[in-house]
Structure 1
Amino acid sequence: MLDRVEERLRGLLNDEHRRWRTADTRGAGLIESLAELVAVGVDRVRPLTLVTGYLAAGGDPEAPEAVDAAAALELLDTCTLIRGDVRDNAALRRGIPALHVSRAAEHERNGWAGEARRFGESTATLAGDLALTLADRLAARLPGTAWQLWDDMRVERAVGTYAHEAMAAEYLDDPWPGRCISGCDRGCAAGWYAVRHPLRLGAALADRPDLDAPYDAYARSLHAAWRLRGFLDGGPEYDWDAELLREILLEREERGIAERLIRELVDRASRTAAATRLAAGWREELEAFAVRLAAEPA
């Protein structure tokens, strides 16, 4: 199924590129930039999580809706990354120049009119718009309950991202993921959308509304473990202020306590999976998935 997600992404972007290559060569350049960024995405956490939740719920692996939903999630995440890079003035994304940086460099090389930085930022924002539009095109085919989850997720993510930016501007943003551990709110812009929403979408596509609550409980514990791992290991969500906080707070003993907390959260997620009615073999798979995800920085 994940191979089919890759094929869906490539096919969608290739079709758009062929369409615009003859209609508007400049427009085709925007699609090329988006396709390059999508192609270098290696983790595919959201598609992987959705497919896992879908198959664990007994979903038909041959059905196209889950593939479309997984591809849509990847495009939505790409949109968020592009816009986040513009806001943060990030230089790199996935090992290549961030889109606004590469477009600004193109402007400078060609000696075009106007300010290179503004050109780069505006064209990157347009690429994010394009990724979001293509994601919505795929999601438009989803059945009612799954589409409603998609729609709610989009709104929550926009509002949550704004809340995060506002807290940072007000010097209220705390890199320690305490809120995630105690019970994350709907405004989280990281693992909340990488775990909870894809799992619930998978259950909805498999027509298993009874899994909504168990998947929610599983995701909350796993999300907290993932965020805590990101803080400890210095994931991309945690910049220099998080590094400073780690140096101040985390001596060997405190780091050991945090590691034990991660294990407890993963165990809690695994117990939830073990007590849930899932397709044969998928309780064990969800338990193993929790261990793998908590080992990766957020």
Structure 2
Amino acid sequence: MTKHHRQLPPPAAPRTVSPQLQRAKMLDRVEERLRAVLDEEHRRWRTTDARGAGLVESLAELVSAGGDRARPTVFLTGYLAAGGDPGAPAPVDAAAALELLDTCTLIRADIRENAALRRGIPTLHVSRAAEHEHGGWAGEARRFGEASATLAGDLALALADRLAARLPAEPWRVWDELRRERTIGSYGHQALAAEYLEDPWPGRCVAGCDRGCSAGWYALRHPLRLGAALAARPDLDAVYAAYARPLHAAWRLRGFLDGGPEFTWDAEMLRELLLDAEERDTAERLIDELVCRARHTVAAPPLAEGWREELAAFAVRVAARDA
């Protein structure tokens, strides 16, 4: 009697995790790391210095309010595209450090611009000034609020540097460069505004951001380069720089045309006075050209599976019109 054996199907090949899912999983770990860092700092102070713990709580509230996590997202994109290990702890620390650095920058910008809200909640200098006034404390409420917020920014920066201190030598060098050039760029931006020389039309960005640009190098170029350095891919440093430059220009043009947060009443007036339908079409074509230029730079270099397409799609999303 012949026995019939049922032939089993071959084992299924393991499914490749999409670039978007890889990055999303790492961003979830970044959120956990941020909470752990701030919880640890709060535990350190709550039994010995209630006022110090209160400052940590204020910072933690702002960080947990969210935001787009733009710098960590760009950094992780550069890291994973370079073939970095998605399970490693170092990129999570670096991404958390970038978010804390960004928080420090936002706190100080809110003070300079006397902003009332950030991420849907009162800005730190406003909430601390209100606490001072409600308590009937000595001194001027506004100055107390601004000083308290500045110290919260200092704390965010100290925590960021503590995380970044664990980076290997080359990524730390990029981090240090990012920190210094962001500071100089921010000052340059403020000085131009104070001297009535600031132009809302992003012509400098289109021509090519100069060294220390407070927006372009910090927003895209440096986080991507940090990702390449941490993945031990120095060959991608120039590639990422060439990718970031036109993409940043396209993003700035989009902000000008659509009225992004950095383009206030003077940009709105300039748009209404100078840009007719034909000129807007010309600007839109320029955005498309810049995006195509950015996509072209990542068409050939060796990147991790799926990430060439993701970097190309990312460029389109960065410069897309508001819904």
Matching of residue 278 in structure 1 with residue 299 in structure 2: no
The one of 64, 72, 84 equivalent to 1:39 is: 64
What per-residue deviation string (whole Å, max 9, x for no partner) do you get for residues 88-124 of structure 1?
1111111211111111111111111110000010001
1:113 maps to which residue?
A: 138
1:24 maps to which residue?
A: 49
The one of 278, 285, 295 equivalent to 1:260 is: 285
| Change in CA separation of 1:55 and 1:18 when aligned onto 2, cut-off 3 Å | same
2:198 maps to which residue?
A: 173
Q: Give distance in 2, aligned partners of 1:191 and 1:81.
A: 16
Q: Give distance in 2, aligned partners of 1:294 and 1:225.
A: 6
Matching of residue 127 in structure 1 with residue 152 in structure 2: yes
Q: Is the 8 A contact 2:216 2:245 kept in 1?
A: no
Deviates more, 1:186-195 or 1:248-257: 186-195
Q: Give distance in 1, aligned partners of 2:121 and 2:217.
A: 26
Quick one: percent identity of the two aligned structures? 76
TM-score normalised to structure 2 length: 0.90
Number of residue equivalences? 297
Q: Which runs of 5 or more structure 1 residues have no equivalent in the other structure?
A: none
1:213 maps to which residue?
A: 238
The one of 107, 110, 113 equivalent to 1:82 is: 107
* Off by >2 Å, runs of 4+ in structure 1: none
What per-residue deviation string (whole Å, max 9, x for no partner) do you get for residues 104-162 of structure 1?
11111111111000001000100110010000000000000000011111111111111
Indicate the structure with greater helix content: 1
Q: Could you tell me which amino acid in structure 2 is paired with residue 65 of structure 1? A: A
TM-score normalised to structure 1 length: 0.97
Q: Is the 8 A contact 1:226 1:296 kept in 2?
A: no
Q: Give distance in 2, aligned partners of 1:134 and 1:215.
A: 27
User: C-alpha displacement at 1:187, in angstroms?
Assistant: 2.9
Q: Is the 8 A contact 1:57 1:208 kept in 2?
A: yes
User: C-alpha displacement at 1:296, in angstroms?
Assistant: 6.8
Q: Is the 8 A contact 2:111 2:146 kept in 1?
A: yes
Matching of residue 59 in structure 1 with residue 70 in structure 2: no
Q: Could you tell me which amino acid in structure 2 is paired with residue 121 of structure 1? A: E
Larger CA Rg, structure 1 vs 2? 2
The one of 102, 106, 119 equivalent to 1:94 is: 119
1:190 maps to which residue?
A: 215
Deviates more, 1:78-87 or 1:233-242: 233-242
**SS of structure 2 residue aligned to 1:244:** helix
Q: Which runs of 5 or more structure 2 residues have no equivalent in the other structure?
A: 1-25
RMSD of aligned Cα (Å): 1.1
Matching of residue 246 in structure 1 with residue 296 in structure 2: no
| Change in CA separation of 1:114 and 1:296 when aligned onto 2, cut-off 3 Å | farther
Q: Could you tell me which amino acid in structure 2 is paired with residue 262 of structure 1? A: I
**SS of structure 2 residue aligned to 1:274:** coil
Q: Could you tell me which amino acid in structure 1 is paired with residue 210 of structure 2? A: D
Q: Is the 8 A contact 2:189 2:214 kept in 1?
A: yes
**SS of structure 2 residue aligned to 1:186:** coil
Q: Give distance in 1, aligned partners of 2:60 and 2:250.
A: 32
Q: Give distance in 1, aligned partners of 2:116 and 2:165.
A: 34
